Structures are given as structure tokens and as C-alpha cells.
């Protein structure tokens, strides 16, 4: 199915915000079998929006997806433009109005007058529920030039647009194409894209052509998205199971989760399930490790606290790292990393301690201890383990990579602990 993407907003044209909606939609629509020919941004202007939609259809698009220019702050220019292109009037829809009103009421707020405008829908269009906001999505169809032409309109607020896409738009698009497209994402930490690809790449040569694999790398992590296209859901599900089982088999403990979870959420949950509490000692990560852990709501149940020990004095006084260990080995060393992890556990009254110490850069490196050298360590009173890493990125990325490595060390040690205990 040929598609066209239109994002509406003066603030995008002026570069005041980066167009992440286009990237997100591009990725999801491609997975759903839509071949996007052109992605376009115009300002909040009815004529420009209408021109773009008309051109897209005359270029052969079967689907035009429009985001933005909808809802209270945009004067609903997009809705007016779509109604104009399709030659439909806007109709007030009582059911949509009540849904919007109920949303305001449930939050103890009064619906503003603009609620009535949001409840207007072009004649013959469907209103798609917006589980994260007020303005509904719109789905319209027509026959023109002997072909079916579809338009989908959604608000520009990313989490609202994403919810409508996932809950309504993608399932409908897949259904329309007489095909089922299912995907599942495996999350890995600890190896780069090329290492992962070497380990699992050949699997897909033996798989049916409807199965595909995309590597989506980010700092310290690689997401593996497996997509199965098939005539029916059961067959696609079976293909997906087979492929993800085979990948998990090869990658083993590198896989830390599925879907949209995060390494920090997985670690939080592992601690919760085991009834353990974590303490953190950070040098080179400067607070970022604690910040990642506490970014998960409810972290206070499993996180005692942390110490950012930038100075050797703080390492000694707050975390009981013996001064002679620092003097002998230097602050960036295995013994200090281990002493920091043990100190965090003991001083913070935690069950498990984790630490980082390293040279984030861009300055501070020596021939022995170059920029990017980082030690992370784990200590739970019975077991302790330190891992040496050598990164080559800039300061910000070296810190982010160190944080991921520390979280991943805790994850692996907790998994091992369970296995040993069971």
C-alpha cells in the first residue's frame, strides 16, 4: 500500500521542535506494510494542507496520514482541510462530545468551549478513540479514480498520536491488506549490533520470507524487532514464536526483556521480586546511575539511595574505601570499584551494592588509564564481581554506556543468584 505522511505545524517548519512523529510513524507504518513515498511538513494553513493531501492522492497514494493541526491550540485547520478535500461537511457528534466531556469530568475539570469543536467530525468519517487525550483521531475513506483512498488524521501530541496509531490505525491497516503483520521486540544489553548480527544473522536465511529482523541499536543496547507477515494470525504467531525462540536460544542471557520495557525497569522488578534493596556508589557516572534507577516509578521500594563520590575524600569518608587502596591502585581500579560497591551496600543499609569508577573524558586520561576506561562492580555480601570496560565515545555517551553496563551487571548477578539459590 502506497502511503504519504503529512505533519502539520509552524513550530516544526521553524525548527523549534524536531519532527520525531514522522520517524515514529515511518517506522510503524513500514512494519504494517505501508510503503511511504513522501513525508512532508507544512504550517497551520488550510490551503497548504489540502494541496498536500490532493497531490499525495494524485501521486498514487492509497493512504495519507496527517498529524497535528488538530485540537484546542491549532484551530482545527487540519480537520477543515480534510473536509474540504473530501467535500464533506463537519457534523457535531453527540457521542464524541460525551466522550470528551467524560474525560474532563473524570479529572475534575470543566470542559472548555473548544470541546464542542473537537466533537465535530467530517460527514461519513469515523472518530477513533484517543485514550491519552481529548481530540479524537479521524478515519475517512472514499472511492476516487476507481481506487479506494484513505485518510487518517491524528493530534500532533506524540503520546496521543502513538496511542491512536497502536490501538486503532495499525490494526485496521493490517486488516485492510488481507494480511496479518505481527512484530515482537527482544531487548539486549552488553553487545553491539555487529556482534549480535554475527550470532543470529544466519537464522533468517532458513526462515520463510514473511519473517524479517531489524536491528535497532542505541547506547549500550540493541533492540531486535522480528516481524512476521502472513495470511492468518495463527500462522504469523507461530512464525514469530519460532523466530524469537531461536534468537533467545542463541543469545541467552543477552536478552533482558521484550517490548517497551527498559533495563532499569527490569532491574527494579528483579529486586522487588527478590525482596532486595539496592545502594549505589558512583564516581564517573556522577549521579546518572541513581537517576536511571529512580526514573522508574516506585523505585523507592527497592532503592535505598546512592553516593556520588567524585573526590577521594568522599570515597573514604562516606563509603569507607580504605585510603591505602586508593593510593596503591588509583581511584579507577578493580579494588576501588569493589570497595565502592561494598561500601554502598553497607553504608546505605542495602542488600546489593553497585558502583562505577572511570575516566569519562574528555580530559583526565593517562597512558595507563585512558579516557573511556571504566570499572563497574557488584557486591551482595556473598558474591562480588567487577567488570572492566573500555569505551571510545564522548563524555556524555561514555557515562550513559557505563550506566547501562552497571545496570546490566546487577541484572546478570541477580539472575545468577536466583539460579544458584534455586
Considering only 110, 363, 382, 421, the residue that binds a copy of itself (CB under 8 A) is 363
* Site membership for a copy of itself, residue 341 (CB under 8 A): no
Task: Classify residue 302 as exposed, middle or buried by CB count within 10 Å of its CB (0-12, 13-18, 19+).
Answer: buried
Residue 222 φ then ψ, to 5°: -130, 125
> Which has the closest alpha carbon to 30: 196, 157, 168, 212?
212
DSSP type of residue 94: H
* Site membership for a copy of itself, residue 38 (CB under 8 A): yes
**β-pair type (352-358, 278-282):** parallel
Considering only 299, 342, 389, 406, the residue that binds a copy of itself (CB under 8 A) is 299
Considering only 361, 377, 402, 412, the residue that binds a copy of itself (CB under 8 A) is 361
- Give me the least distance between CB of 103 and a copy of itself, in Å please: 17
* Site membership for a copy of itself, residue 158 (CB under 8 A): no
Alpha-carbon distance 407 to 187, whole Å?
14
Closer residue to a copy of itself in complex, CB, 16/94:
16
Q: In this chain, which stretch among 119-127, 173-181, 281-289, 384-392 interacts with a copy of itself, using CB under 8 A?
A: 281-289
* Site membership for a copy of itself, residue 227 (CB under 8 A): no
* Site membership for a copy of itself, residue 396 (CB under 8 A): yes
* Site membership for a copy of itself, residue 40 (CB under 8 A): yes
Could you tell me how far CA 80 lies from the centroid of its own chain? 33
Residues 6+ positions from 14 with CB-CB distance below 8 Å: none
What DSSP assignment string belongs to 215-273?
Answer: EEEETTEEEEEEEEEESSHHHHHHHHHHHHHHHHHHHGGGEEEETT--HHHHHHHHHHH
Considering only 23, 175, 234, 273, the residue that binds a copy of itself (CB under 8 A) is 23
Alpha-carbon distance 200 to 187, whole Å?
14
- Neighbouring-strand partners of residue 154: 67
Closer residue to a copy of itself in complex, CB, 83/307:
307
Closer residue to a copy of itself in complex, CB, 26/322:
26
* Site membership for a copy of itself, residue 335 (CB under 8 A): no
Grid cell, residue 331, equals 581511584
Could you tell me how far CA 8 lies from the centroid of its own chain? 23
Closer residue to a copy of itself in complex, CB, 239/282:
282
Q: Map the footprint of a copy of itself across residues 79-138, applying CB under 8 A.
A: none
Considering only 1, 33, 43, 269, the residue that binds a copy of itself (CB under 8 A) is 43
Closer residue to a copy of itself in complex, CB, 284/389:
284
Alpha-carbon distance 238 to 250, whole Å?
19
# residues contacting a copy of itself (CB under 8 A): 69
- Give me the least distance between CB of 222 and a copy of itself, in Å please: 12
Alpha-carbon distance 240 to 172, whole Å?
20
Residues found near a copy of itself in the complex (CB under 8 A): 12-20, 22-28, 30, 36-43, 48, 52, 55, 216, 280, 282, 285-295, 297-300, 303-311, 313-314, 317-318, 347-349, 361-364, 395-396, 399
Amino acid at each position: 500500500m502506497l502511503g504519504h505522511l503529512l505533519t502539520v505545524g509552524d513550530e516544526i517548519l521553524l525548527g523549534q521542535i524536531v519532527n520525531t512523529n514522522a520517524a515514529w510513524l515511518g517506522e510503524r507504518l513500514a512494519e504494517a506494510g505501508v510503503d511511504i513515498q513522501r513525508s512532508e511538513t507544512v504550517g497551520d494553513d488550510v490551503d497548504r494542507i489540502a494541496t498536500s493531501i490532493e497531490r499525495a492522492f494524485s501521486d498514487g497514494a492509497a493512504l495519507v496520514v496527517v498529524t497535528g493541526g488538530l485540537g484546542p491550540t491549532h484551530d482545527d485547520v487540519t480537520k477543515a482541510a480534510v473536509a474540504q478535500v473530501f467535500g464533506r461537511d463537519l457534523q457535531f457528534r453527540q457521542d464524541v462530545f460525551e466522550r470528551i466531556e467524560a474525560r474532563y469530568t473524570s479529572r475534575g475539570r470543566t470542559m472548555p468551549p473548544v470541546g464542542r469543536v473537537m466533537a465535530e467530525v467530517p460527514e461519513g468519517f469515523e472518530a477513533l478513540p484517543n485514550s491519552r487525550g481529548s481530540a479524537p483521531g479521524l478515519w475517512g475513506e472514499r472511492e476516487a479514480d476507481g481506487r479506494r483512498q484513505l485518510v487518517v488524521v491524528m493530534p500532533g501530541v506524540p503520546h496521543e498520536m502513538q496511542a491512536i496509531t497502536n490501538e486503532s490505525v495499525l490494526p485496521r491497516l493490517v486488516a485492510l491488506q488481507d494480511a496479518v503483520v505481527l512484530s515482537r521486540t527482544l531487548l539486549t544489553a552488553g553487545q553491539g549490533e555487529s556482534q549480535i548480527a554475527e550470532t543470529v544473522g544466519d537464522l533468517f536465511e532458513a526462515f520463510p520470507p514473511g519473517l524479517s529482523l531489524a536491528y535497532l541499536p542505541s547506547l549500550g543496547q540493541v533492540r531486535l524487532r522480528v516481524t512476521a507477515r502472513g495470511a492468518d494470525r495463527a500462522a504469523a504467531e507461530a512464525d514469530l514464536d519460532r523466530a524469537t525462540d531461536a534468537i533467545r536460544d542463541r543469545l541467552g542471557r543477552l536478552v533482558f526483556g521484550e517490548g517497551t520495557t527498559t533495563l532499569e525497569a527490569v532491574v527494579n522488578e528483579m529486586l522487588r521480586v527478590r525482596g532486595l534493596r539496592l545502594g549505589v556508589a558512583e564516581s564517573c557516572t556522577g549521579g546518572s546511575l541513581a537517576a536511571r534507577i529512580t526514573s522508574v516509578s516506585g523505585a523507592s521500594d527497592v532503592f535505598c539511595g546512592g553516593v556520588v563520590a567524585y573526590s577521594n575524600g568522599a570515597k573514604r569518608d562516606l563509603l569507607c574505601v580504605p585510603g591505602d587502596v586508593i593510593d596503591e591502585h588509583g581511584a579507577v581500579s578493580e579494588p576501588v570499584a569493589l570497595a565502592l560497591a561494598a561500601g554502598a551496600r553497607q553504608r546505605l543499609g542495602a542488600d546489593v551494592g553497585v558502583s562505577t569508577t572511570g575516566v569519562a573524558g574528555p580530559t583526565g586520561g593517562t597512558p595507563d588509564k585512558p579516557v573511556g576506561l571504566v570499572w563497574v562492580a557488584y557486591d551482595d555480601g556473598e558474591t562480588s564481581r567487577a567488570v572492566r570496560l573500555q569505551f571510545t565515545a564522548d563524555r556524555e555517551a561514555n557515562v550513559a554506556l557505563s550506566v547501562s553496563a552497571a545496570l546490566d551487571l546487577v541484572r546478570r548477578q541477580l539472575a545468577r543468584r536466583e539460579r544458584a539459590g534455586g
